[in-house]
Amino acid sequence: MATYKEAPLATRPKTLDPAEYFNLSPDYRRAEEKRAALRAQLKRQYLQQLNNPHRKELIEDPALTRWTYARTNNNYFRPTAKTSLIGGLFGVLPLFVLYVVFKTDRDKREAKIKAGTYERPYNLST
Amino acid sequence: MRAVACQRGKMAALRAGLLTRALTKGNTPGIPNIILGTRAASGPSKDMLPGSYPRTPEETAAAAKKYNMTLEDYKPYPDDGMGYGDYPLLPERSQQERDPWYQWDHPDLRRNWGEPMHWDFDMYIRNRVDTSPSPVEWRTMRNQLLGFVGFMLLMFGLGEMFPCYQPVAPKQYPYSELYLERGGDPEKEPEPLKHYEI
């Protein structure tokens, strides 16, 4: 631990952090123990399934299922002031703004062509 | 044949009518909800899937247990209607920051089986966004980049507005500007052109 030096792209790993080992309060240690217990249980479940010689199917990961479900099913979306504002700003406003921008640009170009003052920018045949 | 087809058409219409009546009667949700909300019984049960924002301490404890997190670690996203439900708010750290030497269950993702996944997990994989510390502070990097890009844009803009070139003149050709080559009349004498001034 004394010889590990942080490099620009490498943070100090948790296992080499002296704050992990010295002056620990009992609450911190209890919380770490709980986390370690959860991790150990999950590891045990996974390894039991992995090393089971009679297993023929994929090991299903419930955390992955939950993540997929949460990301694809937007059941808990609620129209509030914030969400309506975001929806209007990104969904409705661009339609009108882009219409106005394109229309004015094209109308200006059309007027110029009709007046004969439009210079073709990429015209190769002089 | 025509009678049979007619009969089948009538049956289909009758069935469609019954279906619509069954669906619109009472508290049944609309068709889209039924189509999208049906899940196979072989999948996870409703209590293993993400739910709505936890309101009571019991709901919070149950959600923490569901996501395999300790009660102190579990913190849901703030409930402002953005659609997170009770999904936990995990620290915004990329997978690249995790210990490369630990024996992860999925080494390329640096993740263990059953570990709660960040909402933006697919953004924080090692091929994509990386929150590892940079050699120089981010503020310095940003200032330098914006300063350089801004300076170049400014100079190019000024160059467009005030162009500054070597002075040029139209090309001067011999033989009275190539009078004969350009199809001038050989009988006529071209008028002499003087390109200099003394």
B157-178 pLDDT, tens digit each: 999 999 988 988 888 888 777 8
* pLDDT at residue A57 is higher than 70: yes
**Chain A residues within an 8 Å CB radius of B44:** 62, 65-66
Q: How distant is the Cα of B154 from the closest Cα of chain A, in angstroms?
A: 23
The secondary structure of residue A47, as a DSSP letter, is H
- Residue B62 has what pLDDT? 94
User: Residue A23: which region, alpha, beta or left (left: phi > 0; alpha: psi -120 to 50)?
Assistant: left
pLDDT value, residue B1: 55
Q: Please, which residues have CB within 8 angstroms of residue B3's CB and are 6 or more apart in sequence?
A: none
**A interface test, pick of B55, B113, B118 with most A CB neighbours within 10 Å:** B113
> Measured between CB atoms, which of A61, A67, A80 is closest to B121?
A67
Q: What is the pLDDT of residue A7?
A: 73
What's residue B75's pLDDT? Answer: 93
State whether B117 and A59 contact (CB < 8 Å): no
A27 pLDDT above the threshold of 70: yes
CA distance A37 to B44: 24
A75 has a chain B CB within 8 A of its CB: yes
Q: How many Å lie between the alpha carbon of A33 and the closest alpha carbon of chain B?
A: 10
User: Whole-structure pTM over 0.80, yes or no?
Assistant: no
Residue A63 has pLDDT above 90, yes or no: yes
pLDDT of res. B147: 98
Q: Note the pLDDT tens digit of each residue in B102-115.
A: 999 999 999 999 99
- Domain ranges, ordered by start, for chain B: 138-178
Number of C-alpha atoms within 13 angstroms, CB side, residue B191? Answer: 2
Interface of B with A in 136-195 (CB under 8 A): none
User: What is the model's pLDDT at position B46?
Assistant: 85
Q: What does the H/E/C string look like for chain B?
A: CHHHHHHHHHHHHHHHHHHHHHHHCCCCCCHHHHHHHCCCCCCCCHHHCCCCCCCCHHHHHHHHHHCCCCCCCCCECCCCCECCCCCECCCCCCHHHCCCCCCCCECCCCECCCCCCCCCCCCCCCCCCCCCCCCCCHHHHHHHHHHHHHHHHHHHHHHHHCCCCCCCCCCCCHHHHHCCCCCCCCCCCCCCCCCCCC
Please tell me the distance from the alpha carbon of residue A93 to that of residue A101, in angstroms, as a whole number: 12
Residues of chain B with pLDDT under 50: 22-24
Is this prediction's ipTM beyond 0.90? no
Beta-carbon separation of A75 and B99 below 8 A:
no
**B81 in contact with chain A, both atoms CB, cutoff 8 A:** yes
